[in-house]
Structures are given as structure tokens and as C-alpha cells.
Homo-oligomer: A and B are copies of this chain.
Amino acid sequence: MAGLRDRKRERNRVLTAETAWRLFIERGYDNVTVADICAAAEIAPRTFHRYFASKDDVVAEPVRQMTALVAKQVAAADPGLSDAETLRLAFHELGVFVLGHRDWLSALRTVIEQSHHLRDTHAGVPPEREQELSTMLAKRHPDDAEPDWRRRLLVACSVAAFRIWYDDFLHGTIADPLERLGEMLAAVSRPGR
């Protein structure tokens, strides 16, 4: 499964993404062409589009990784916990991750903010990811009488809370980030139905 061929491919993919981000940070997303990235990463443009569906797709990668982290936490959570508690812990973990990569994430954020195009498109978390989380939660308690829309609403609000926290944190306007995050997630949990 992890032959030389696959390892080489993955290595080149990561290297291409890193090269792309380096150029984006240096010159801004709009001033970097696919050809530039390919020249720097020493691959053909045709190959670039085999790794990434589009130039935008490179930007979407970090979001994918972060949602994957949350999904992983939810999957590994104690089945006895409520949905709200599960999400709270999962996003807390994501918060810890973000704290540990502040400089890097801050740079990515700057790239997105400075590009007209990216500001419009890569604004939030795609709804499919939220749906994915909701489905995972629903499967944990199959005989729950809770209407499905409440679950989806809880997920959406948790995501929204995290997004707002994320923005504030990267702007450096929060004194005690993790406590604030906990406060925000608690605000959307509503344990008392």
C-alpha cells in the first residue's frame, strides 16, 4: 500500500503545496500563477492539476486538515458523552492545535485576506463538512428522540463559534484564548434544551 511509487507521489504533493504557500506568502495569491509554482516545485503544470483540482484547492487544504482533526476527535470520543460535550471537547482540541501553529496559520490567513478572490470563495467551512459531523453524531445515539435539525443546528453553531474565535485569536485580541473558546462553545451548547 505504501510502495515507493506512493511515497514519491505524496512527497511531491506536499512539496508542491509548501512551495505554493511560500510563493503566496511572498507575493500574494493573485500574483502567483500555476506556472510559477510549477517552476519552483519543478513539476509540469499538467502534473500540478493532478495533485490539486485547482489553484484554490491548495488553499482549501488546511481547512480540510482542520475539519479532519475535529472529525477524528468526535470519532474517538467517549460514547457516553452528549453531542454538545463531544463537540466541545473536539473543538477544544482544534483550539489547542491552532494555538500551537499560530504563526503559520496567521500567515495563511493573511494570504486569504489579501486576495479579493479568496475572500469571496474560501470564506467559511463547506456545509458538507458540517453534515458529516452531524451524521457522525447521529450514529452515536441511534435511538435518540432528538430531532435531527437540533443536532445540525448545534454543529453549525459550534462551527460558527470556532470560526469567530479563530478570527479573533489570529488578530491577537483575546487575553485567554482557550478560556474564551470554552465560553463560546458553552454559549451555543444550551444543556437545558
Interface residues, chain A, with chain B CB atoms under 8 Å away: 60, 119-121, 123-128, 149-150, 152-153, 156-157, 159-161, 163-165, 167-168, 180, 184, 187-188, 190
Contact = CB atoms under 8 A, between A and B. Distances in A.
* Interface SS majority for chain A: helix
A153 B158 CA distance: 10
A184 B156 CA distance: 12
A164 B152 contact: yes
A106 B149 CA distance: 20
* Most chain B beta-carbon contacts within 10 A, residue among A125, A149, A188: A149
Contact of A123 (B124, B150, B165, B167): B124
**Copies, count:** 2
A47 to B, nearest CB: 21
Contacts of A124: 123-127
Given A124-B125, A149-B164, A156-B163, 13 more contacts: A60-B120, A119-B126, A119-B128, A120-B126, A123-B126, A127-B163, A150-B187, A152-B164, A153-B187, A156-B157, A157-B160, A159-B160, A187-B190
A161 B168 contact: no
Contact of A149 (B60, B152, B157, B184): B184
7 contacts: A123-B124, A124-B125, A153-B187, A156-B160, A156-B161, A157-B160, A160-B160
